[in-house]
Structure 1
Amino acid sequence: MYQYTDFDRQFVRQRAAQYRDQLERWQAGSLSEEEFRPLRLQNGWYVQRYAPMLRVAVPYGELSSRQVRVLARIAREYDEPEAEVYRQALETQGALGTTSLPTHYAHFTTRQNVQYNWIPLAKSAEVMELLATVDMHGIQTSGNCIRNITTDERAGVAVDEVADPRPYAEIMRQWSTLHPEFAFLPRKFKIAITGATEDRAATGWHDVGLKLVKNEAGEIGFQVRVGGGMGRTPIVGTVLREFLPWNQIMNYLEAVIRVYNRYGRRDNLYKARIKILVKSEGQAYIDDVEAEYRDVIERDGAPHTISQAEFDRVAASFVPPALAARAGVPAEQADAALRQAADREPMFARWLQRNVAAHQNPQLRAVTLSFKRRGQAPGDASADQLDTVAELADRFSAGELRVTHDQNVLLPWVHAEDLFELWQAARAAGFASANVHLLTDMIACPGGDFCALANARSIPIAEAITERYQDLDELDDLGEIDLHISGCINSCGHHHSGHIGILGVDKDGKEWYQVTLAGSDGSDLSGPAQAGKVVGPSFSAAEVPGVIEAVLGTYRDTRNAGETFIDTLRRVGHEPFKAAANGARFKVEEVA
C-alpha cells in the first residue's frame, strides 16, 4: 500500500484544522449557510434527506486494517442521528413499511468510497481529525472537481493484468488533489483505470477511462476513453487514443480536462458533464484535445511527464507484503488439500468457486467477502462488522483489503493453505455467502431511505428480490447476472450497466420502477459496456419481484446449454423478455 509522506500527512491534518475553523465560524454565525456550503462539500459533507452524509475518500479502493478500525469507530461513536430527526425519518418511511433505519453503519459505494448517513454536522470536525490520524479525508469526494480515482479491486494481483494500475492512480491522485486549474470544472469529473484484460473498473462509464495496454514493441501505454457517464444520458466513452505512452498520461489528461473546462456547459446542470461536450462536438472536441496536448508538450515543456525515478518511487509502495513472501505449502499440495476439504464441505466448495479468484502468486488467492445478505442493504457494514473485517485482514491478508466496485470487500493476499480457516471465520461473521456475481450480489444505492435526490427507495426492492432468491442451487442454475438498482436518474446504483437494471421514478408523487435489460459495465468478456433498454412502462414496488421472476423464467425457457443470461438476451432479443415482464404486471393486478 502507498505510505503517506510527511508532506501528505501534514497536508491532510492542516486541511482538517482548516475545516474545524470553517465549521466554528459557521456555528458562530460569521459564515452564512451559503458561504459554508461549498466549504463543507469540498471535504465530503453533504446534507441529505434527514441528516448530513459524509463521503470518505478511499483512493483506488485500498484500505489498511488500521484505517478500517477507525472507520468502525466513526460508525460506532458518531453515526447516530438526533432523536427528533430519527423519529421524523421513521414516521416518513414507516408509512412505506419500514420500522427501523440502520445507524452506526458505514456504506461501501460503487466508486470504492465509504459513506455515513447520520453524523451531525456539529461533530463533523472531530470526525475529520480522527480520519486524519490514519491518513484519510473527504477531500474532493464532492464538488465540480476531479473525484476519487478508482481501479480494479484485484490491481496488482490479477492473473489477467498487463500492469499494476495503482502506481499510476497514486501519481494521478497527487496531481489532481486541489489542482488549481481544475477546482471549479463545469461538473464533477471521474477517472477510472484498469490494468487487466477484463474491465472490472467499468472504465467505459467514466468521464475518463484508462486501460493499460502493450503495443507491438512490448511497451506500456494507455488506451484513453473520454466522455462516458450514466445519468439522464447514458453514454459509453469514446476512444481518443488507442496507445499513449505511460509517462505522458498526465500531460494528456491536462489537455482533455482543459478543453472541457474551456467549452463545457455551465448554463445547464444536466448538460454540464464532459459526455455532453464529446457527444455534441465529436471530432472537433478530439481535434481540440490533440491541439492542446501538442501545446502542453511544445509550449509548456511537458511539465507533467512522469519520470522513471518518480514512477519507481511511488511503485515501491506497491510491492507484495511480507505475508506473501513467507515460506508456504507448495501450490500442488495446497490445491490437493483444498479439493479434499471441498469434497467434505459442499458449502466450502461453492465458496471456492464463487468468492475465490486466482492470483499472480500461485500460492495465494484473492478472496471476496460478501456484503450482500438478508436483512441488510447492499454495501452496508455495521461498526462491529468493520472491526471483524479488519481482524480478518490482519489474520489472512497482511492487514490489507480493497473496497470493490460491486460494494463488497476483497482480501488480496490470502495463502491458499489458509482458505478453509478463512471460510470458517467469514461464515461465522456472515461474510461467506457464495453469491459473488450471482443475482443476489446486486448493486444498490441508498435511495429514498436517505437521499434527497431519490424518486424512490432502492433498499426495499433489493430486500424483496434477495428474500425471493435464497436457494443457492437456483442461483447457481441462473448463473452470473448483474442486477443494479438506482433510486433516481443520477444512477448511483449504476442501473444502466446492469444485465437487469431497476430505476426508481416518480409518477404523480408515488414510487414506480423502470426495468432495463442487457446493460453491461464491460466486466463480462462476452461484450462491451453498453446501456440497457427499458422493457416497458414502469412497475409498482409490489410488481417488481414478479417482473424479475418472469424475466428469469424466460431466460430458463430460451437459453442454450451453458449459456449465460446476458448471452441469451443478446441472442434472443428483448421482445420475449419484454412480453414476460409486462405479463407479470397483469398477474399481480389479477391477484390484487
Structure 2
Amino acid sequence: MYRYDQYDHQLVKERIAQFRDQVRRRLSGELTEAEFLPLRLQNGLYMQRHAYMLRIAVPYGLLSSAQVRMFAHIARKYDRGYGHMTTRQNIQFNWIKLEDVPEILQELATVEMHANQTSGNCIRNITSDEFAGVAADEVIDPRPYAEMLRQWSTFHPEFAFLPRKFKFAINGAEEDRAATAVHDIGLTMVRNAAGEVGFKVMVGGGMGRTPIIGSVIREYLPWQHALTYMEAILRVYNQYGRRDNKYKARIKILVKALGPEEFGRQVEAEWAEIKDGPGTLTVEELQRVAQYFNDPAYEALPAVDAQFEQLKTTDKAFSNWLKRNVKTHKRSGYAAVVLSLKKTGVPPGDITAEQLDFVADLTDKYSFGEIRVTHEQNLVLADVKQTDLFTLWQAVKAQGLATPNIGLLTDMICCPGGDFCSLANAKSIPIAEAIAEKFDNIDFQHDIGDIELNISGCINACGHHHVGNIGILGVDKDGSEWYQVSIGGAQGNSTSIGKIIGPSFAADQMPTVIERLLNVYVQQRTDEELFIDTVQRIGVAPFKEYVYATPIATALNEVKSEEAACV
C-alpha cells in the first residue's frame, strides 16, 4: 500500500499545527462557532447531536494493521470504545471532545493518516473497489490511479472551495463494485481496441435530494490525461455550478441543466487548453506510484485442497459462511474474506476497540498486513490462503464478525441517523435493528437470496437508500419520525434509482412492511430470479397493492392480540 513521502508528512504536520491553534482560539472564545465552522469542517470535524464527530480518511478503503490498531487506540482513549465504518470507506468516531482533536490528529500522523477533506466543499475521499488488486474479474488495478488522484486533489488550491462537496469513485473490474454511476465523477478503467489503458468518464451522478445516474461524457480517456481531464471538469463546475442554493449546487444539477452533451463540450474546450501541460502523467510517475501496490509474496498453492473440500461439504455453518463471505481470488489457492459488521443487535458498520485490535492481528497473520473497508460498511481480508479459511472462520465467529449474510437482507447499509446526526429527520439504527431481529434466520435469508436494503435518516442519503433494492428514508411528518419506502434501486453495472411505493410508515410498522414486500417477491418470483429482477419484471404496483391492502396498523394490532392470547 502507499506510504507517505516527504511532502505528505510536511502537509499533514503543518495542517495539524494550524488546526491546533484554531482549536485553541475556539476554546478561548477568540473564534465564534460560526467562524470556527469552516475551519473544523476542513479537518473532518462535525458537531452532532451529542458531541463532535471526527471522520478519518481511508483512501480507497485500504488500511494497514498499524492503522487499524490506531483506530482501536482512538476508540478507547478518546471515544466510547468503538468506531463506525462509513459508505465512503472511512471511519468516524461519534463522541469526540474538541480539546482532544489536535492530539488525535497528531497520533494519526504517526501511522500516516489524517482527516483532511473528509468534509467541506472540496474533493472528498476517493473510493474504489474493495477487491482491487485481487479480484478475479479485474481489468486493471485502479489503486495506483486512485492514489495519483488523491495526491493531485489534496489541498488543491483551485478546488478547496467548490460550490458543494465533490466525490470520485474509480473501478477497474468488469463488475462495478464502486458505485461509479452515482458519483460526481465515476471512472471505469478500460482498454481500447489497441489494448491501451484508459478511462470511461461519467459525470453528474449522485443521490441526496435529487438522485441522478451519471452520464458518460467520454468513452475512452488515455490514462496519461486523467488529471488534466479531471481538472477541466472541475473548472467548468467551479465556474458555473450554483452557489446561491446549496440544494442545487452539486455538479449533477449543472450537468442536468446544460445537458451532458453541452457539459461535455465545455469540458473538452477547457481540456484543450491544458491537456498537454505539466499535469500530464508520465510512465515514470505511474511506475513510481504503482510500486506501492505490487503483489505481496504469494505462495504457489494448489487450486484444490482435500481437507478444505471435505469441510465445505460436512460443516453446514462453515459452508454457509463460504458461500456468502468468501470471494474468488485472482491467485490459485487464495481467497478474499469479508468480515461482516452486521451482526444482529449491533448497529451496522460499528466495530469495537477490541474487535479492531483483533482484526489487526488477523490482518498480520492471514493477509499480509492489509485490510480494506467496503462502502457496504464491512471489512475485507484480501489475501487469505484457502487452507487457513476454516481456522480463520472459527476465530472471527468467536468475535462476532462471521455472520454469513454478505449480500443478504441483514447486510444492511445504514447511516447513524437521528441517534447521532443533527441533519437527520429520523433514526436509522433502530429500524435496522428491528428488521434484523425479525429476519434473523439465516436459512430464510439464504432462500430469499441477494437483496440490498439501505437506510438513510435524511435526504442527504448517506445510507444510499436510492440504490437499495429496498430503500428506506427517514422523513419528518409534523414533528414525528416516519419512513418512506422505495423499491427497484440497484448499484453496479445496472444502476437504477428506486421508486417510492406510497405514503410513509411509522417506525413500528417497518418490519411488517418489509415482510409484505418479501411475500410478494416469494409469490411472484421465477426460478433463480432475485428480488430486483422480480421488481423490474412486474413493476412496483403489485408490491404497493399488497403492502397497503390491509392497513399496517390493523395488521400490527392483530399480531399483538394473537401474542397476548398466546400468553
3-state DSSP class of the match of 1:38?
Answer: helix
Are the counterparts in 2 of residues 17 and 129 from structure 1 also a CA contact under 8 Å?
no
The alignment status of 1:343 with 2:313, answered yes or no, reads: yes
Deviations 1:63-121 (Å, cap 9, x if unpaired)? 00100000011001101xxxxxxxxxxxxxxxxxxxxxxx3210000110100100110
The one of 498, 506, 514 equivalent to 1:540 is 506
3-state DSSP class of the match of 2:266?
Answer: helix
Structure 1 residues 252-263: aligned runs within 5 Å? 252-263=229-240
Give the residue type in structure 1 aligned to 2:128: T
Match of 1:302 in 2: 277
For residues 266 and 368 of structure 1, the distance between their equivalents in structure 2, rounded to whole angstroms, comes to 41
TM-score (norm 1): 0.93
The alignment status of 1:569 with 2:539, answered yes or no, reads: no
Residue 585 and residue 307 in structure 1: after superposition, are their counterparts in 2 closer, same or farther (change >3 A)? farther
Shift of 1:584: 5.5
Equivalent pairs counted in the alignment come to 557
For residues 94 and 143 of structure 2, the distance between their equivalents in structure 1, rounded to whole angstroms, comes to 29
For residues 337 and 211 of structure 1, the distance between their equivalents in structure 2, rounded to whole angstroms, comes to 39
3-state DSSP class of the match of 2:195?
Answer: coil
For residues 34 and 409 of structure 1, the distance between their equivalents in structure 2, rounded to whole angstroms, comes to 37
Match of 1:331 in 2: 303
For residues 528 and 342 of structure 2, the distance between their equivalents in structure 1, rounded to whole angstroms, comes to 26
Match of 2:118 in 1: 141
Structure 1 residues 190-229: aligned runs within 5 Å? 190-229=167-206
Match of 1:496 in 2: 466
The one of 505, 521, 532 equivalent to 1:555 is 521
Give the residue type in structure 1 aligned to 2:425: N
3-state DSSP class of the match of 1:413?
Answer: strand
> Structure 2 unaligned runs (5+)?
561-567
The alignment status of 1:514 with 2:484, answered yes or no, reads: yes
For residues 13 and 439 of structure 1, the distance between their equivalents in structure 2, rounded to whole angstroms, comes to 44
Shift of 1:590: 4.9
The alignment status of 1:371 with 2:341, answered yes or no, reads: yes
Give the residue type in structure 2 aligned to 1:421: T
Shift of 1:38: 1.3
Shift of 1:8: 1.4
Match of 1:314 in 2: 289
For residues 585 and 240 of structure 1, the distance between their equivalents in structure 2, rounded to whole angstroms, comes to 47
Match of 1:118 in 2: 95
Match of 2:380 in 1: 410
Instruction: Answer with 443-452 or 374-383: which moved more.
Output: 374-383
> Structure 1 unaligned runs (5+)?
80-102
The one of 551, 555, 566 equivalent to 1:588 is 555
The one of 222, 232, 242 equivalent to 1:245 is 222
Shift of 1:547: 0.6
Shift of 1:589: 5.9
The one of 253, 259, 262 equivalent to 1:284 is 262
Give the residue type in structure 1 aligned to 2:371: L
Match of 2:243 in 1: 266
For residues 175 and 534 of structure 1, the distance between their equivalents in structure 2, rounded to whole angstroms, comes to 39
Shift of 1:201: 0.5
Residue 585 and residue 494 in structure 1: after superposition, are their counterparts in 2 closer, same or farther (change >3 A)? farther
Match of 2:83 in 1: 106
The alignment status of 1:63 with 2:29, answered yes or no, reads: no
Deviations 1:28-56 (Å, cap 9, x if unpaired)? 23333222221111110110111100000
For residues 556 and 358 of structure 2, the distance between their equivalents in structure 1, rounded to whole angstroms, comes to 45
The one of 222, 225, 231 equivalent to 2:208 is 231
What's the % identity of the aligned pairs?
A: 58
Shift of 1:214: 1.0
Deviations 1:338-362 (Å, cap 9, x if unpaired)? 2201222111111111111111111
Q: Give the alignment's Cα RMSD to 1 decimal.
A: 1.2
Give the residue type in structure 2 aligned to 1:45: L
Shift of 1:14: 2.4
Match of 1:90 in 2: none
Give the residue type in structure 2 aligned to 1:48: Q
Match of 2:332 in 1: 362
For residues 482 and 134 of structure 1, the distance between their equivalents in structure 2, rounded to whole angstroms, comes to 34
Match of 2:564 in 1: none
Match of 1:8 in 2: 8
